[in-house]
Amino acid sequence: MVTRAIVRGVGHYLPARVVENAEFEASLDTSDEWIRSRSGIERRHLAAEGEATSSMAIAAARDALDDAGLTPDDLDAIVLATSTPDLTFPSAATMVQAGLGMTHGFAFDVQAVCAGFVFAMANADAMLATGQARRVLVIGAETFSRIMDWEDRSTCVLFGDGAGAVVLEAAEGAGTGEDRGILSVDLHSDGRHKDILYVDGGTSTGQTGSLRMLGKEVFRHAVEKLADTAHAALDKAGLTGADVDWLVPHQANLRIIKATAQRLQLPMERVIVTVQDHGNTSAASIPLALSVGKDRGQIREGDLVVTEAIGGGLAWGSVVLRW
């Protein structure tokens, strides 16, 4: 017998304001056609003044707890993946803890940029497997609109804000690929690639800074590394692409998603795609896609789900789980 981290509930939150591609045409030398054809993005949600990563995370957390039929009292820990915390410290996770009225347990942030949710799930899985917690709320929440250079057409049209969350619960499994819960994890980073995707601010400048990206370079790494890490995670679980019900990729670019699915020999009918409506929400993109995928009736109990993501660092990885 082994301890598995099973998904007990899932939820999300998207800010009310929706910005269509065409709105950028007034202020930038860009077009709906360019954004759509190069990225697959059609619109994105942007946080209102007064909304922050923690407030969106709290809303997503409540939605996931409702779905699980649980309350904050039932949680032991909160792990929040974000690169856009409200403040440098304390962690956004502790703000969520307070916002939920939770005065026990512990909470902390994980920072692996767009791969953050995969790293946070891996962390929660390890805590559940070693008995440090029985229920962990894992959240991905981002306010990338606050780190955009709104004059840089090569980045600002690509990102959006939002939050998604899952409640993971320890359960006994047989130790086979048929178990429900997280079956395998594959994580990587390579800090040599810092300059192709970074924010040009922080304690070294005293300013929050703006996102800078060499899109073509990141694209090249993504296409190669995402399929490799998903394959590696499937191998570790003793499974193959043929076993996969749903690929739930990081939602950065439809062309990257299609190339990864092709490398995994998965038809697009088995891929959850939300990038057209959300843009790239960094660490929030996978839990948002899980939640929307469940709401659409696509992801059902017993389905084999493969998640994969890559982002600044570079950091990338994959988690294979049975829903």
Minimum distance from residue 174 beta carbon to ligand UT7 (Å) = 36
Q: With the CA atoms of 157, 163, 164 and 165 taken in that order, what torsion angle do they form, in degrees rounded to the nearest 10? A: 150
Binding mask 126-155 for ligand UT7 (x = CB under 6 A): ---------------------------xx-
Chain residue whose CB lies nearest ligand UT7: 215
Out of 122, 222, 257, 321, name the contact with ligand UT7 by CB under 6 A. 222
Q: Is 106 in the site for ligand UT7 (CB under 6 A)?
A: no
Closer to ligand UT7 by CB, 47 or 284: give it: 284
Q: Which residues pair with 51 in a beta bridge?
A: none
Residue 21 within binding range of ligand UT7, rule CB under 6 A: no
* 280 is annotated as an active-site residue: yes
Q: For ligand UT7, what does the binding mask look like between residues 240 and 279, x meaning CB under 6 A?
A: ------------xx--x-----------------------
250 assigned to active site: yes
Minimum distance from CB of 215 to ligand UT7 (Å)? 3
Catalytic residue among 21, 114, 231, 253: 114
- Position 315 contacts ligand UT7 (CB under 6 A): no
d(CA 172, CA 195): 43
Pick the closer one to ligand UT7 by CB: 110 or 304: 110
| Secondary structure (H, E, C), the chain | CEEEEEEEEEEEECCCEEEEHHHHHHCCCCCHHHHHHHHCCCEEEECCCCCCHHHHHHHHHHHHHHHHCCCHHHCCEEEEECCCCCCCCCCHHHHHHHHCCCCCCEEEEECCHHHHHHHHHHHHHHHHHCCCCCEEEEEEEEEHHHHCCCCCHHHHCCECEEEEEEEEEEEEECCCCCCCEEEEEEEEECHHHHHHEEECCECCCCECCCEEECHHHHHHHHHHHHHHHHHHHHHHCCCCHHHCCEEEECCCCHHHHHHHHHHCCCCHHHECCCHHHHCECHHHHHHHHHHHHHHCCCCCCCCEEEEEEEECCCEEEEEEEEC
Instruction: Verify binding: residue 123, ligand UT7, rule CB under 6 A.
Output: no
- Candidate list 12, 231, 250, 278, residue with the active-site label: 250
Q: How many residues bind ligand UT7 (CB under 6 A)?
A: 20
Contact with ligand UT7 (CB under 6 A) among 114, 139, 292, 305: 114
Interface residue with ligand UT7, options 97, 229, 280, 281 (CB under 6 A): 280
Dihedral sign, Cα of residue 203, residue 204, residue 210, residue 216: negative
Residue of 36, 38, 212, 270 interacting with ligand UT7 (CB under 6 A): 38
Residue span binding ligand UT7 (CB under 6 A) among the ranges 42-50, 62-70, 170-178, 211-219: 211-219
12 flagged as catalytic = no
List interacting residues with ligand UT7 (CB under 6 A).
Answer: 30, 34-35, 38-39, 114, 153-154, 157, 215-216, 218-219, 222, 252-253, 256, 280, 310-311
User: Could you list the active site residues?
Assistant: 114, 250, 280
